[in-house]
Amino acid sequence: ITAISPQGALTAVGMLPRMRRYRVAGTIEIGMYEYDSTTAYVALPVAQEFAGLGDRVTGVEVKLDDPFAARRIGRTIATRLGWPYWVRDWMEMNKNLFAALQLEKLALFVIVTIIVLVAAFAIIGHLVLLVAEKRKEIGILKALGAPGRSITTVFFSVGMTIGVVGTVAGSLVGLGLMWIQNTYKIIRLAGDVYQIDYLPMKLWPRSFPPGGPAGSRRPKCSDTSKGADAGPPPRAASWPRRRRGASPVMRPSTRHPRARGR
């Protein structure tokens, strides 16, 4: 390839640009269109000779272990160096892109929240129908002395099971699709528009909405023993409670004919 520098040499016919021919040793693909289409890597002494800088450089890039600390460290470097040096971090260089991504992330969060709410109401509706179908069984359990809290716990466990199984299955499917996309790059993008040629995916814990899985709300179980289908159940028999330390006493019923005579 032929490289042309606008900072040429002054000759009798005017300013001529500096030109050099270089042999391409290899090609690399970073994944960002901005760098893949305009960037070439050469040895530092070769670049300094071509630009006429001597032993100087036009800029220094600093790689950090924590990319999100670039702004804080950049301010520290700018304060120590002072004028005429200036510092720009990667967030400032791609400010418009990250603003668009933040807006898309907000829209995606709203869509996912709506989907979770729809799934939660679907599970609640399923539990309501299940309670309506089990009216006779609930009436029998109440007739046998089962407390309402135990019956509610049964339906609550059903809802929790559906929510947990759905959440785990969806998470596993999502992780599998994310691995496939990052490995085989199935979803491609136009590099000249989005600056990247494929859609990268990464799991962030902060991306999960607050709260438990869908369907974790307890359904309200009404007293279905009064329904027309179940009929009025008989009242459960119960013995009178006795106080501590008191001896049991058998009291004859006043409705017995012998007790009336005495």
Flag whether 109 is in a domain. yes
Spatial distance between the Cα atoms of 137 and 150, rounded to a whole number of angstroms: 13
Q: Are residues 101 and 223 in the same domain?
A: yes
Is residue 6 very low, low, confident or very high in pLDDT (cuts 50, 70, 90)? confident
Tell me the per-residue pLDDT of 158-190, one tens digit each, with 9 for 90 and over: 989 998 999 899 989 999 999 999 899 888 877
Mean pLDDT of the chain: 77
Residues 6+ apart with CB under 8 A from 120: 163, 214, 215, 217
Q: How many domains does the chain have?
A: 3
Flag whether 196 is in a domain. yes
| Single-letter code of the amino acid located at 58 | T
Flag whether 262 is in a domain. no
Q: Are residues 67 and 160 in the same domain?
A: no
Residue 66 has pLDDT above 50, yes or no: yes
Percentage with pLDDT > 70 across the chain: 74
Q: Are residues 3 and 19 in the same domain?
A: yes
pLDDT at 206: 64
Is residue 254 very low, low, confident or very high in pLDDT (cuts 50, 70, 90)? very low
Q: Are residues 65 and 52 in the same domain?
A: no
Spatial distance between the Cα atoms of 242 and 139, rounded to a whole number of angstroms: 29
Residue 86 has pLDDT above 50, yes or no: yes
Q: Are residues 38 and 69 in the same domain?
A: no
Q: Are residues 113 and 211 in the same domain?
A: yes
Q: Are residues 69 and 46 in the same domain?
A: no
Tell me the per-residue pLDDT of 99-116, one tens digit each, with 9 for 90 and over: 888 898 899 899 989 998
Flag whether 255 is in a domain. no
Residue 251 has pLDDT above 60, yes or no: no
Q: Are residues 123 and 163 in the same domain?
A: yes
Q: 18-27, 56-65, 216-225: which has the minimum mean pLDDT?
A: 216-225
Look up the pTM and report it: 0.52
Query: Where is 7: in which H helix or E strand?
Result: strand 2-11
Mean pLDDT of 232-246: 43
Q: Are residues 119 and 16 in the same domain?
A: no
Residue 47's domain spans which residues? Answer: 1-58
Tell me the per-residue pLDDT of 193-217, one tens digit each, with 9 for 90 and over: 776 778 788 877 765 555 444 444 4
**How many residues does the structure list for the chain?**
262
3-state secondary structure of 163: helix
Q: Are residues 102 and 177 in the same domain?
A: yes
